[in-house]
Amino acid sequence: MEWLGRALERVRERRPLVHNITNFVVMNTTANALLALGASPIMAHSPEEVEELVAAADAVVVNIGTLDSAFVYSMVKAVAAARELGKPVVLDPVGAGATRLRTRTALHLLSLGGVSVVRGNFGEVSALAGESGRTKGVEAAAYDAARARELAVEVARRFGTVVAVTGRVDYVSNGREVYAVEPGSSAVERVIGRVTGLGCMVTALIGAYLAVEEPLRAAVAGIATFKVAAERAAEEAPYPGSFHVKLYDWLYRLDGGTLSRYARVVAYGAR
């Protein structure tokens, strides 16, 4: 899809400022991924400055991976401010379904009405749909591709947002249209579960694309960019540590033509 390549080129031209309220585990990881892609990250969560930063940002990433009351307060302020200012927000409901706090927080943030995209794994999005028992820690305990596609549509319709359910095949929907981002090279499967924060990285990349694309395309572009870069990285570096370094390299090296050529994106109509 040629529009994927054009979206990447627009990110590089604009260098959008992406304000991240994210978890302590991935702050460095996601900041470096955004820099490698060509965006400009800011990693800040103080409630005293959150409204000013949202006003300055081109997009906002909210990730609930390491919650406490101060984080929740900042996230609520950020989503409310973004809604008032018309700034796009991507929400990563890390571990929703694992604890009541995480599920309640994710649902509350969605209820504020300012979330443009939700990106979660199968268990997390299942929890947003009111289903339990599909999250183990912060990971999805099982993945059902057919159900993942249904969940993307159902949760998108319920909350009036774009929903991306990531797994081996990723499904993205606005409640009407559905895109699948399919795997290419199998090399990445050996290492993808051995490096922390990769799902959070996908969410951050979606944030960069939200600055230059409408939400459905932004979600597809962020996922496809990660997938192509990760597959190229795994072919060159089959071990977790070297893979992580090569992943940054490929986010930097990736150009619009390569992304359009290798991304395996299929469009469907929602049933």
pLDDT tens, residue by residue, 189-203? 889 889 999 999 999
Q: Quote the pLDDT of residue 187.
A: 83
C-alpha span between 254 and 217 (Å, rounded): 18
Kindly state the average pLDDT of the residues 243-263: 97
Q: What percent of the chain has pLDDT over 70?
A: 96
Please state, rounded to an integer, the average pLDDT across all residues of the chain. Answer: 94
pTM across the whole model: 0.95
Which structural domains are found in the chain, ordered by start? 2-266 (3.40.1190.20)
Within 13 Å, how many C-alpha atoms sit on residue 160's CB side? 6
